[in-house]
Amino acid sequence: MAGIYIHIPFCRQACSYCNFHFSVSLKNKDAFVNALLKEIDLRKDYLAHEKIETIYFGGGTPSLLSSDEVNRIVEKLNAVFPVAPDAEITLEANPDDLTGLKIRELKATPVNRFSIGIQSFHDDDLHFLNRAHHSQQAESSVRLAQEAGFENITIDLIYGIPMKEQEAKGKRQEKNNSSFVPAKRGHSSFEYNLAKLAKLGIPHFSAYCLTIEPKTILEKMIREKKSPDVNEADAAHQFEMLMDFAEENGYEHYEISNFAKAGFYSRHNTSYWTGKKYLGLGPSAHSYDGVSRQWNIASNARYIQSLEKGELPFEKETLSENDRFNEYIMLSLRTKWGVDKKIMKQIFQEEKLKSFEKTVSNYLADDWLVCENEKITLSRKGKLIADRIISGLFET
């Protein structure tokens, strides 16, 4: 079983934190769709005819596609690949695109799962992130999707957003009024987001710490002292709030950034974390066949021009044993299933296992990791420094 990812490289505007490949001009959208259909034909043998169990429209902003364009793409995939009848077909959407009419149109396509980029239910957060929607659209997009019959819905949230001005005022007021006790810096806003999530009854959500990526608007603003930086202590506290919320509201914390009610795991993303093969279509999209990785050129113009000639420019990397080992550690340890020592013994050389056992023992002794039935997982406190632990276990 395998998955297909489709990168839709268009957005209405640039979010301040985003470093993904996209264009804010839609003038080449028709040409892009035609090029994408040609790429599907060119890549028909990449997955060696394995059954496709998931299709994921990511971006960019896939909800900028019309329902006719979605249908054309899925019909082409069905014509070229053996797509399972019960395939999970996810479409990422921005709340401002999800009008009642748009949702009804998409309901008539094969799309059966929405991933809605809420990020926050607060207008000041959305303004800071330079999102195209406002808080009312964030809530109404979910309700409209539910009313249209979409049950499999996930939303994205961002935590660690720097302190807002009203909370700064609260801290100043605290100095002058001993009876005034404001929420911790930034936490009241995030607590509101979690309360709204619970009220809407959403079965899956992803929550990501705001990361300052190079060459983004936000990185420039922070560098020029026009914006506060992310406070690591605040972000860590909000992550703990997330874990408490999940436990109290029946969500399973099945991957470091993903939380689901029973039966609502993301099948597509889970396939990444469990090492299944996938094909990436569209500019900048990545593919993995179990032995190597390759990625398409990150240029809409060159992508379209090349495919008009029947060519596809991409780069390819054959994975070394160290690469495969590190990827297994990185992907597995992020999940509730963890690193399986029995699997490691089957696929890696004994010297790597000995090195791993020696390094991992320190994390186990300090309760950053837990080992049960030959499976190693992050402890609750280990999840707070997951990236540090994972990189510490890498082979160089």
pLDDT digits (tens, 9 = 90+) for 256-278: 999 999 999 999 999 999 999 99
Check residue 396 and give its pLDDT: 84
User: Does residue 308 lie in a domain region?
Assistant: no
- Distance of alpha carbon 94 from alpha carbon 123, whole angstroms: 15
Same domain, 134 and 263: yes
How do residues 288-345 score in pLDDT, each as one tens digit?
A: 999 999 999 999 999 999 999 999 989 999 999 999 999 999 999 999 999 999 999 9
Percent of the chain with pLDDT over 70: 94
Q: Which residues on neighbouring strands pair with residue 281, listed in sequence order?
A: 6
Give the whole-angstrom CA distance, residue 147 versus residue 329.
41
Mean pLDDT of the chain: 92
Same domain, residue pair 160 and 225: yes
Instruction: Give a yes or no: residue 299 inside a domain.
Output: no
The Cα 384–Cα 368 span in angstroms is 9
Domain membership of residue 329 (yes or no) is: yes
Q: Which domain holds residue 340?
A: 320-396
* pLDDT greater than 50 at residue 185: no
Q: Which helix (H) or strand (E) holds 381?
A: helix 380-383
Q: Give CA–CA dist 372/376, Å, rounded.
A: 7
Q: Give me the pLDDT at residue 5, please.
A: 98
Q: Does residue 387 lie in a domain region?
A: yes
Give the Cα separation of 275 and 12 in Å (integer). Answer: 33
Q: Does pLDDT of 137 surpass 50?
A: yes
List the single range of 2-6, 173-177, 294-298, 389-393 with lowest mean pLDDT: 173-177
Q: Would 290 be classed as within a structural domain?
A: no
Answer whether the bond into residue 60 is a cis peptide, omega within 30°: yes
Read off the pTM. 0.92
Quick count: other Cβ atoms within 10 Å of Cβ 327?
Answer: 15
User: Within 13 Å and on the Cβ side, how many CA atoms surround 311?
Assistant: 7
